[in-house]
Amino acid sequence: MLHAYTVEQIRAAEKPLLEAQTAPDDLMKSAAHAVFEAAGAMLRWPDTVGDFRESPKCLLLVGKGGNGGDALYAGAELALAGHAVDAWLAWGSAHEPALEAFINAGGTVLENAPEDCRDYRLAIDGLTGIGGAGGLDEQVGQVLDGLADWYVHVLAVDVPSGVNADTGECGDIHVTADATVTFGGWRRAHGLAPECGIQLLAQPSIADGRSIADELDVGASDTVLFRAVPGETPQPWPDSLDTLPADNEPLMEPGFYDDKYTGGVVGIRAGSATYPGAALLATTGAVRATPAMVRYAGSQAGEVVRGLPEVVVKQRLEDAGRVQAWVFGPGVGTDSQARGELALLLGREEPLLVDADGLTLLSTDPELRELLRGRPGETVLTPHDGECERLRDALGIDPASRWEEAQALSQALNCTVVRKGRATIVADPARDHTLVVDTGTSWAATPGSGDVLAGIMGARMAREQARWGRATLGVAQSVIIHATAAWLSAQTEYGPGPTSASKIADAIPAATAKLRILPAEPAVYRAKKSRGF
């Protein structure tokens, strides 16, 4: 299940179950059992400072609401399983039946906030959950600092406290979790907030077997989540807990009668005398992404063909030849020539990806923005947060969350916006859903990495355009491949180490193969796909 839901939708789905339950806290206890299972798995993880813990224990951070009840019932199960468990009632009270069950199971309620966290090896965050808004108070912050000082793993219930479930925005003081277990369906924050850690989905139910998922309307969801690189754990999670997956990558082998053109030709306009490396990085990303032809146009034609002899190069954009999609912007500069070239491409029908300097030109030139709004072909913009904010300000859009701003830019400019980051957001005015990719790691945060992504995405846009006539179908998958390549490029025989954009580009074929989850399609399907049907 990939669809994400708002807090309002989740609460509406819970309501009939809460009304129908025949035993007190039936649904809460079922959810708490999932928390218990996740906690049990985490307690088997290696403990970095275990030798310094005299009496290893678990700590429950308990709020007044339902999440506090979940934590207490889970704590009761942990206590009955033989674990020492403390509970801190952060605001003085808690869900009474759950608190009673916790005490009866042998749990200890702390009179004051814990000052020495040395003996805690796992903390369960049940402070606020999806109902929280804004940051947490200073006393909670001091406890969180103490847990961090002693390398305590944290399991959050529903959403880490201090993180907005609908937007992923964090308050000044918030929980950062190693894993988060949620119920029924994903929340947007599970893709938007890396503070969630490894995302886990459970399906609690009431006595008649009905679950929250049974009450959710998939058609009402406006966000779909993916995770590129899975969270690494020493052991698998229990079978009752689902993790947030990537998307399957279909086989990239050309069809029986494909040639270098039918797979979709991409044109790259990148690089300059000031930034020559951008040309090679973007073009390498494109070459590694698909088996089809790549054309390059620009002043670095000689450097590109020396590094990549399979690329067809020209000095001038006008001489590049026919393509199914263009990439414009990495390292081209912002002078009058670059402005003229962007205007030329905005006036053509081929799908166009605009990145880097191209985005700067759009943010400073109202005429180019008008050309963008009215162009006949599909357009993809790939801003990082700073570029997104400049476009937002140029358009007079009010500051909001990353998710909301990506939506607003997409609507205002009538194009697909790929807001890059650890959580990458794909907003498209022609789609019913916004796509969110938790890249899973931050290894892509290195110079030139965005140029490589532009090449990958442009090549795949050309492929989708040639196959299906819709260039933006695989935009999110390009993000997943790039993130996976970044992770692979950082792996060494001794563990992960620093990587670079060139290494990321070289890892693209391996990343593409790694993401192939499903078995090979039947030959009849592959033949049909190669014909573009």
* Whole-angstrom distance, CA of residue 77 vs CA of residue 408: 46
Q: Any known ligand binding at 331? A: yes
Q: Any known ligand binding at 209? A: no
- Helix (H), strand (E), coil (C) string for 492-507: ECCEECCCCHHHHHHC
Q: Any known ligand binding at 511? A: no
Q: Any known ligand binding at 162? A: no
Q: Any known ligand binding at 529? A: no
Pairing of the two strands 352-354 and 325-328:
parallel
Q: Any known ligand binding at 455? A: no
* Whole-angstrom distance, CA of residue 393 vs CA of residue 371: 19
Taking Cα atoms as reference points, which of 344, 352, 354, 355 lies closest to residue 378?
352
- Locus of tokens 């205007």: 343
What element of type H or E holds 304?
helix 301-307
Who's near 85: CB < 8 A, 6+ residues apart?
57, 58, 59, 60, 75, 78, 79, 102, 106, 107, 108
Tally of residues, the chain: 533
Task: Specify whether the CB–CB gap between 228 and 194 falls below 8 A.
Answer: no
Taking Cα atoms as reference points, which of 222, 116, 207 lies closest to residue 166?
222
- From the number of C-beta atoms within 10 Å of its C-beta (0-12, 13-18, 19+), residue 526 rates as middle
- Helix (H), strand (E), coil (C) string for 450-480: HHHHHHHHHHHHHHHHHHHCCHHHHHHHHHH
Task: Specify whether the CB–CB gap between 464 and 420 falls below 8 A.
Answer: no
Q: Any known ligand binding at 421? A: yes
For 366-426, give the DSSP string. Answer: HHHHHHHHH-SS-EEE---HHHHHHHHHHHTPPP--HHHHHHHHHHHHTSEEEE-SSEEEE
List phi, psi (to 5°) of 156: -95, 145
* Whole-angstrom distance, CA of residue 90 vs CA of residue 87: 9
Task: Specify whether the CB–CB gap between 274 and 298 falls below 8 A.
Answer: no
- From the number of C-beta atoms within 10 Å of its C-beta (0-12, 13-18, 19+), residue 70 rates as buried
Q: What's the gap between Cα 123 and its chain centre? A: 25
Who's near 32: CB < 8 A, 6+ residues apart?
69, 70, 71, 72, 73, 74, 76, 77, 98
- Give the CA radius of gyration of the chain: 25
Q: Any known ligand binding at 382? A: no
Q: Any known ligand binding at 501? A: no
As annotated, the binding site includes 278, 331, 384, 420-424, 450-451
As annotated, the binding site for (6S)-NADPHX includes 278, 331, 384, 451
As annotated, the binding site for AMP includes 420-424, 450
